[in-house]
Structure 1
Amino acid sequence: MDLEAYVNECLSGNHNCVLGQICINTEGSFRCQRETSCGTGYELIDNDNCQDIDECILGTHNCGADFVCTNTAGSFRCHPKESCGEGFIQDAVGSCIDIYECAMNPSPCLPGQTCINSVGSYTCLRNTVTCEQGYHLKEDGTLCEDVNECLSGNHNCELGQICINTEGSFRCQRETSCGTGYELTDNDNCQDIDECILGTHNCGADFVCTNTAGSFRCHPKESCEEGFIQDAVGSCIDIYECAMNPSPCLPDQTCINSVGSYTCLRNTVTCEQGYHLKEDGTLCEELGPQESGSSHSSIALGT
């Protein structure tokens, strides 16, 4: 702030405080405050008025532990506390009110019970829980939990099967494993593992994997002739050159595929009178009276 521009209106007399008020300088301004204090039990607020001080709320009273503080204008009074019965508690003004035990933490009731409040007391009612088949009520009565039929012996698995517990039920599985190259399915049957599809074989890059019952075999890849390519199982199949992009044939030619090769046939185009075939064989262009000096327009070939 520019100190030279700072003005203290209270010192310079440039204020409008009236008789009975004192001028108090502030940052960039001033304020007028009553000259006399508010007196005991009151405080001066921003609008220059006196406001009662609530000693009971502020805790500045001197009432003892057996008394209740009651605020008065400019002061307070101490009243003896009432003697409340069991299930009641004294509020801030000394009245006896009901204790809401059900809101306490921890709850006065057991985990499997519901707390019902009453005036001066409470009641604990046991929860009524119905569990579905395969479940039973926990000891605390709050939740249903899975019954382990395998441990309790409440299953129908036969000799040679083992009981496997599931959520709300169980299943019986054959005791012996399926052996190498097989896996057990959900219907308790052994199914061949296709190592070639799963990629769990150890055939090298120059070999093709062929699945067998419970295992697999590695066969050397064939050497394919020109115009053929090897598929996923190592067989040589024809290359469809006509589907390549770009086409192996010229723009005015049609590609005809054959086993191991392809043929490019020149398109046969017949132009109407007044037109001749362009050099690339794709369009007919119009002939003018003098070709060397005339402009040509082109038309697409018809079928």
Structure 2
Amino acid sequence: MQQDLLKTHVDECSLGLHDCSPQQVCINTVGSFICECNQANLTSINNKCVVDNGGINMYCYLMDSVQICECEKGFEIKSSSNSLQICEDIDECKSNPCPANSICKNLNGSFTCECLAGFIGSRATDHFECLDLDECSSSCLNTCDAEYGLCINQPGSYECQCKQGLYGNGRQNGCFDINECLSNQTKCHSNSKCLNTIGSYECRCEDGFYNTGMDCEEIN
């Protein structure tokens, strides 16, 4: 049985039927082959060589005369269907490494954290964090009306409101005066007239009357 196997054995290495990379050496075995690091690629400085053992992002080194292949940082070894070891990217985002108010974006061999809209990255402490951006601190960061609007900062955003006595959305040119004199909600007394102002109103005594501070009395 063993003799029959040896008679029919194919040398994949000599026939070029292997998939070893140019940086590797094909070594024939009974019924198969293996790929090992090419000694010519080992440097005298760090005994490492670049190896493409069925994939990329792998390096090789010697340990007690044994050639060992390991994945670079950010990758992990996976076995393929043809029993070759390949290096696949580690999705670091699965472990939620980013701080609050940010999103994780996986990269090839690494990852990055990006702050959400309305937040800004900071390394003021010993770690990266995303802090609220106060849009109300500068008119360049918000669209609230500079004269008649109010900017209210919120986590990751802001809100525009009109000042008291005005109505609208609070944004640029979006505030309009309420004419209190047209309503019955003023506190002007009977001997005075209502004068509308932007955002408010005034009570002025009629001709022939003077303001006592409390009401309008007739001038004798």
TM normalised by structure 2 equals 0.30
Larger radius of gyration: 1
Q: Bigger relative contact order, structure 1 or 2, given CA contacts below 8 A and separation 6+?
A: 2
From the two aligned structures, give the one with the greater helix fraction: 2
From the two aligned structures, give the one with the greater strand fraction: 2
